[in-house]
Amino acid sequence: MVSSKLQLPFLTTHAFLLVTWHLLVPLARCAVYHSLAELPGDLKLFDFIIAGGGTAGSVVASRLSENTNFNVLLIEAGPDTAGVLEIEVPGLIGQINASIYNWNYVTTPQPGLNGRTIGVPRGRGLGGSSCINGMAYSRGASDDYDNWARLTGDPRWRWNALWPYIKRHEHWMGAAGGRNATGEYDPSVHGYSGNGDLHLVSDLNAGKPIGLTWLQLTTGGGERWSAAKSYLGQHVRRRPNLTILLNTHVTRVLSIKASKPKIDVRTVEVADRAAGSRVTFTAKKELILSGGTIGTPQILLNSGIGNRTELERLGIPVVLDSPFVGEGMMEHVTVTLTWNIVPQNTTVIDPDVAWAMWQQNRTGPLSTPGPVHQVMWYRLPQKTDVLSKYKDPSSGPGSPHFQFTFGDQGRVVLLTPYSRGSVKLNSTDPFVHPIIDQGLLTHPFDLAALKEGIRTAKKFYTGPAWEGYVLGFGGPDPDVLSTEEFETRAREVARTFLHPVGTAAMSSKHSKRGVVDSELRVKGATGLRVVDASVFPLTPASLTQGPVYIVSERAVDFIRHSWL
Ligand SMILES: Cc1cc2nc3c(=O)[nH]c(=O)nc-3n(C[C@H](O)[C@H](O)[C@H](O)COP(=O)(O)OP(=O)(O)OC[C@H]3O[C@@H](n4cnc5c(N)ncnc54)[C@H](O)[C@@H]3O)c2cc1C
């Protein structure tokens, strides 16, 4: 396994500029405030305000505050995550305190999952979901982004056009402990030189992921590199033009300046608890929502920006009728597969030894999040029954339909679901969790495709390499169970792959669908942008943090160029 921490380049001119700004603007104090009460009363007006200090919010705040002329406020509902041991140590991922760093959302009973409700974890705290995620890093297929460009009518979303932003967020670190990882990645797509191969893919992040490949992680030197650690480290926190406000909930965004034909939204309302008094901050330039796929639509809907009928049902005054807010959520769906294997002589490492290794030089089992080191990305053959019956939902011939992970408990993940879900308000209280319906397995394509995916996984394990190791498939087996039995079983075990996206999707400026335009500005409004996974117009055939970093870096340049 190889790892890649996220990059924050240090500009050589920067120190000088910081000093100058500091002398000229004594009121602007860079600081991390742990509560609304701590924030000095005179700090009210900022150039940019970012609501949500998660994966995308950390990138946007960090990049915008590189310009010392911009005074930036970042507001995050959760606490600081710096120095939290379970977050820093990749192998302690299972011990992260979910009651502090996780929103712990739960879905509505899911008809496609036999009526089960399922948990929807989302990170809460500086760095957001990048502090609790599995750290696997993939960018997706070049076809995914080329398709985004088609859907939005904006060629700047093409893979080739995004390449500078793809490279910009990454700092290649190699394997933990300095292990020689030659052959496990393609150095050319990380800034050196090399080439790829189709079946044994030398690098999953070169835009052509189909095949078997080594996993890459957002770790570095045996530690997790969350968005907060990468983009909001100590040297960024020292910037006098950046203010970070923690443990503060964004309740609404407000339009306080009359303007036509678009509403002008640059004010954010916050509170530290449901009964707490509301405080507002106004951005001179822009307000950027980065609350994530659940948080962003919740804030918009609470603000009266959403489907008119839905808002009226709740008695929320309609500020902007934007029917697709919270709609069209896409999620990868996964089924766990079991294999009967010959018992192996495995070395069990004493937890005390593992801890000592990590403390000593950041190596050993705790330097990675788990035992999965390879993944396979697979595309259904065009002649498959399921693709004869349903229009191919993938972005193009270079984009996979499935991801497989291996082990005695493997996993098949459908990356191109047709099912869609939604986020709606439960109450007008912004502190009450919204109604989350992931809609998993509600479209017949998804289950039919999963069947084919499982058959492919079975075929993979019939290869000679597994002889004497894999004894048989433990199911759920579409070739042994009746159609009805298989479907019941699959619906019992299927779950979310933790990648919800698309609840404030971007679309072309002429389209009536979608919520934001291709520069991520909320349609029908000025002063308000969304930058996070909610803007994805279609889920990439990939894990989602990589695409969030790419979108965030791209968005920063849209914002900068608007204010040159
Ligand atoms: C458990 C888990 C495992 C995952 N594993 C992987 C993986 O291995 N690889 C991968 O690529 N992806 C993984 N993902 C997905 C990936 O981490 C996310 O897609 C990505 O981090 C989302 O980024 P974001 O900026 O859209 O949202 P987030 O990072 O979730 O940021 C949203 C931020 O907004 C804040 N917020 C929300 N509402 C408010 C409000 N009202 N006021 C103030 N702040 C608010 C939240 O607290 C949070 O900090 C995983 C996700 C989870 C939850």
User: SS3 letters for 230-262?
Assistant: HHCCHHHHCCCCEEEECCCEEEEEECCECCCCC
Q: What pTM value is reported for the model?
A: 0.93
495 C-alpha vs ligand 1 centroid, how far in Å? 18
Instruction: List the binding residues.
Output: 250
Say what the pLDDT of residue 485 is.
97
Residue 316: per-residue pLDDT = 97
Predicted confidence at residue 200, as pLDDT, reads 59
The pLDDT of residue 462:
86
Where residue 523 falls among pLDDT bands split at 50, 70, 90?
very high
What is the arithmetic mean of pLDDT over 294-309? 98
State in Å: Cα 124 to ligand 1 middle.
8
Residue 30 pLDDT > 70, yes or no? no
For the residues 487-513, what does the mean pLDDT come to? 96
Counting from 1 in the atom list of ligand 1, the atom nearest the Cα of 122 is 53
For ligand 1, atom 50, the nearest C-alpha belongs to 133
Decide: 229 and 235 in contact? Cβ < 8 Å.
no
Measured in Å, residue 96 CA sits from the centre of ligand 1 at: 15
Asked if 438 contacts 112 with a C-beta cutoff of 8 angstroms, the reply is no
Q: Which of 333, 365, 348, 323 is nearest to 514 (CA)?
A: 323
Per mean pLDDT, which of 79-88, 164-173, 199-208, 347-356 is the most reliable? 79-88
Ligand 1 centre to CA of 129 (Å) is 3
Confidence of residue 408 (pLDDT cuts 50, 70, 90): low
CA distance 201 to 208: 8
Q: Tens digit of pLDDT for each residue in 340-357?
A: 888 877 778 899 999 999
The H or E element that residue 224 is part of is: strand 223-224
Assigned token pair, 78: 């959760």
Rounded to the nearest whole angstrom, what is the distance from the C-alpha of residue 169 to the centroid of ligand 1? Answer: 17
Residue 543 Cα, ligand 1 centroid: separation in angstroms? 12
Instruction: Kindly indicate the confidence band of residue 192, based on its pLDDT and cuts at 50, 70 and 90.
Output: very low
Is the pLDDT assigned to residue 527 strictly greater than 50? Answer: yes
Strand, helix or coil for residue 358: helix
Testing ligand 1's pocket by substitution, the residue of 35, 55, 215, 230 carrying the most ligand atoms inside 8 A of its CB is 55
Atom index in ligand 1 nearest the CA of residue 78 equals 47
Distances (CA, A) of 93 to 22, 96, 559: 39, 6, 34
- pLDDT band at residue 190 under the 50/70/90 scheme: low
Q: What is the number of the ligand 1 atom nearest to the C-alpha of 534?
A: 26
pLDDT of residue 427: 95
Q: Quick check: 248 pLDDT over 70?
A: yes
Closest-CA residue, ligand 1 atom 1, reads: 133
- SS3 per residue for 92-127: HHHHCCHHHHECCEEECCEHHHCCECCEECCECCCC
Query: How many angstroms is it from 397 CA to the middle of ligand 1?
Result: 29
Q: Check whether 362 has a pLDDT greater than 50.
A: yes
Identify which of 290, 498, 531, 552 to mutate to test ligand 1's pocket (most ligand atoms within 8 A of the CB): 498
**54 CA from centroid of ligand 1 (Å):** 6
Please tell me the least confidently modeled range out of 26-40, 394-408, 447-461, 547-561. 26-40
* Range scoring the smallest mean pLDDT among 70-79, 168-177, 222-231: 168-177
Ligand 1, pocket residues at CB < 6 Å: 51-57, 75-78, 121-124, 128-130, 132-136, 249-250, 290-293, 295, 299, 498-499, 532-533, 543-546, 548
Annotated binding site for FAD: 250
Atom 4, ligand 1: residue with shortest CA distance: 133
Q: What is the mean pLDDT of residues 269-285?
A: 97
Q: Whose CA is nearest to atom 27 of ligand 1?
A: 292
Task: Quick: pLDDT tens for 63-90.
Answer: 999 999 999 999 999 999 999 999 999 9
The minimum-distance atom of ligand 1 relative to the CA of 127 is 49
Q: Whose CA is nearest to atom 43 of ligand 1?
A: 77
Could you report how far apart the first and last alpha carbons of the chain are, in Å? 42
Q: What is the chain's mean pLDDT, rounded? A: 90
Instruction: Give the pLDDT band of residue 409 (cuts 50, 70, 90).
Output: confident
Q: Write out pLDDT tens, residues 92-149.
A: 999 999 999 999 999 999 999 999 999 999 999 999 999 999 999 999 999 999 999 9
User: What pLDDT is recorded for position 21?
Assistant: 30
Closest of 200, 148, 232 to residue 554, by C-alpha: 148
To test the pocket of ligand 1, the residue of 544, 553, 554 to mutate (highest count of ligand atoms within 8 Å of its CB) is 544
Among protein residues, the one with the nearest Cα to ligand 1's atom 3 is 133
State the distance from the centre of ligand 1 to the C-alpha of 104, rounded, in angstroms: 12
Which residues pair with residue 556 across a beta bridge?
none
268 vs 257 pLDDT, higher one: 268
Pairwise pLDDT comparison (9 vs 177), residue with the higher score: 177
Ligand 1 pocket, mutate which of 133, 377, 423 (most atoms under 8 A from CB): 133
**Which of 33-47, 71-85, 294-308, 435-449 has the least mean pLDDT?**
33-47
Q: How far is the CA of 292 from the centre of ligand 1 (A)?
A: 6
Q: Provide the token pair at 6.
A: 């996220």
Report the alpha-carbon distance of residue 30 to residue 40 in Å, rounded: 12
* pLDDT at 240 exceeding the cut of 70: yes
The residue whose C-alpha atom lies closest to atom 31 belonging to ligand 1 is 54
Q: Is the pLDDT of residue 24 over 50?
A: no
pLDDT at residue 178 in the model: 76
- Rounded to whole angstroms, the Cα distance separating 422 from 435 reads 8
Percentage with pLDDT > 70 across the chain: 92
**CA angle, residues 353, 357, 359, in degrees to nearest 5:** 115
Per-residue pLDDT, averaged over 165-181, amounts to 80
Cα of 271 from ligand 1 centre, angstroms: 21
